[in-house]
Amino acid sequence: VRELELDAAAVRRMVGDVLDRLGPWLDGLQTSRMTTPTGGHRAAAALRRDWPEDGVGWGPILPLLDRALATSLDPTSPGYLAYIPGGGLPHAAVADLYADLVNRYTGLWMPAPGFVALEVDVLRWFAAMVGYGEEAGGVLTSGGSLANLAGIVAARHRRFGDRPFHGARIYRSREAHHSVDKAAKIAGFPSSSLVDAPTDERFRVRVDALRAQIRADLDAGLEPLAVVGNAGSTAVGAVDDLAALADVCAEHGLWLHVDAAYGGFFGLTERGRAALAGWDRADSIALDPHKGLFLPYGTGCVLAKRRADLRDAHAVHATYLPSSDADPLAWDFADLGAELSRPNRGLAVWLPLVMHGFGAFREALDEKLDLARVAADAVRALPHVRLVTEPVLSLFAFRAEPPGLDPESIERLNRRWIAAVDQKRRVFLSGAVIELGFVLRVCVLSFRTHRDRVDALVEDLRSALDEALAKEGS
């Protein structure tokens, strides 16, 4: 039998090789150009191999990974202002190394109470950030999508229990992330359960219209169940009036779920707290530490105002597993979400928070709020450019609308504009298609993004717009 164990010297050598390889890359991130995935399809095909019955050893592995790295977009770059950045704190790699080497079981309290306690602390700190009380609870998930799923499932269970729920209505605006609709689909709701709540000029749910919709649905014998509020929408950065949504939910006994996957950790800052006012009245909240706490992908979080709601919706008893119900501090994460076995996720969140303190994260997030404002003011000053949304947090959308161009030409111009910006490889932007058409967007969220990159962004937007306009005119 071939030996699969690696001794400490072998692990040290492999980790050392990885660091030798990635160290210069890590140290060069502040000044390096964006990688773009051009030719990625061909390069990816060349990386594929047949069933590896016999191994190749460690030697050829890193060169292969280098080639995979070169074919990908670079969310670690300070110039990554696309989609929702996060950056990827290297601390998490160290925490994961530790966690994976010792491979402790955190699906339940009993096998690893110390590690579960660290994760429970993280969840208690997040709950404190929101303003939740002692009854709150939560679980770290793989991301915001599963956090939204847990919130929707908890809403469904509290209202319907084992009853059928075909007349249920879930209200969210078209600004909601598609994972909300996906959560409803997985949770068994027919698509007719999802209701588009109209929005105002700032892309926020119009509360008067929402009230009217709920009343009409009640009159029609339907069962309004939940409202999903945006705490920073992905396309344009809209933040719903969460206090007003909480009022509507209270009037009609509806569940309020807040999708704060992008915006939630701005709750650490004064400006963010003001924007999110009322979120402490939500029944459940999705957060994404792999966005606003800058962690690498793979860590989301659902919080519930009452931990019991999550447990009632998820827990199923198994005779072969230990239960810790009697001890209020002993959380069994398997009872609060979909997973039983899971990575020891808490460590990668806990380690940087304890090492640097929340204060360092608050400062970083405040910096992002400032940078987005600087960028938005500069973009507003560009000729023929309209800000479609102001940065309520650190995301705004905009587009060029020169006079005399028909809608098709405006669409083409804006698509050319973003392509020309991305080609310069100092920043990377992504767009979105909203009712108005194609818009460019800037989302500043990486801990690595500082003023120099925002200045580069503004320079590149200016020159790329000139180039795109010249092409449109020619």
Ligand X SMILES: Cc1ncc(COP(=O)(O)O)c(C=O)c1O
Residues that bind ligand X (CB under 6 A): 84, 143-145, 148, 177, 179, 234, 259, 261-262, 288, 300
- Which pair of tokens denotes residue 192? 């007719």
137-141 sheet: strands from edge to edge? 137-141, 300-304, 284-287, 255-260, 223-230, 168-173, 194-197
- What letter does residue 84 receive in the DSSP assignment? S
Query: In whole angstroms, how close is the CB of 231 to ligand X at the nearest point?
Result: 8
> Which of residues 109 and 396 has its CB atom nearest to ligand X in the complex?
396
> Which of residues 179 and 414 has its CB atom nearest to ligand X in the complex?
179
The whole-angstrom separation of Cα 141 and Cα 28 is 32
CB-count burial class (<10 Å; 0-12, 13-18, 19+) for 419:
middle
- Which pair of tokens denotes residue 321? 């597993």
> Which of residues 259 and 339 has its CB atom nearest to ligand X in the complex?
259
Tell me how long the chain is: 474
> Which helix or strand (DSSP H or E) is residue 389 part of?
strand 385-389
Residue 196 amino acid letter: D
Query: In whole angstroms, how close is the CB of 234 to ligand X at the nearest point?
Result: 4
> Which of residues 194 and 420 has its CB atom nearest to ligand X in the complex?
194
> Which of residues 75 and 143 has its CB atom nearest to ligand X in the complex?
143
> Which of residues 285 and 336 has its CB atom nearest to ligand X in the complex?
285
The whole-angstrom separation of Cα 318 and Cα 385 is 60
Look at residue 418 and give its three-state secondary structure.
helix
Query: In whole angstroms, how close is the CB of 211 to ligand X at the nearest point?
Result: 24
Query: In whole angstroms, how close is the CB of 292 to ligand X at the nearest point?
Result: 10
> Which of residues 297 and 358 has its CB atom nearest to ligand X in the complex?
297
> Which of residues 417 and 449 has its CB atom nearest to ligand X in the complex?
449
Q: Say if CB 230 and CB 175 are below 8 A apart.
A: yes
The whole-angstrom separation of Cα 259 and Cα 256 is 10
* CB neighbour list of residue 80: distance below 8 Å, 6 or more residues apart: 34, 73, 74, 87, 427, 428, 446, 449
> Which of residues 310 and 400 has its CB atom nearest to ligand X in the complex?
310
Q: Say if CB 149 and CB 140 are below 8 A apart.
A: no
Residue 383 exposure: Cα atoms within 13 Å on the Cβ side: 9
Query: In whole angstroms, how close is the CB of 446 to ligand X at the nearest point?
Result: 14
The vertex-27 CA angle with 76 and 298, nearest 5°, equals 30
Query: In whole angstroms, how close is the CB of 443 to ligand X at the nearest point?
Result: 9
Residue with tokens 């390069």: 43
Query: In whole angstroms, how close is the CB of 146 to ligand X at the nearest point?
Result: 7
Query: In whole angstroms, how close is the CB of 203 to ligand X at the nearest point?
Result: 13
The whole-angstrom separation of Cα 366 and Cα 70 is 32
* CB neighbour list of residue 280: distance below 8 Å, 6 or more residues apart: 130, 131, 132, 305
Query: In whole angstroms, how close is the CB of 356 to ligand X at the nearest point?
Result: 23
Q: Say if CB 458 and CB 379 are below 8 A apart.
A: yes
> Which of residues 84 and 153 has its CB atom nearest to ligand X in the complex?
84
Query: In whole angstroms, how close is the CB of 233 to ligand X at the nearest point?
Result: 6
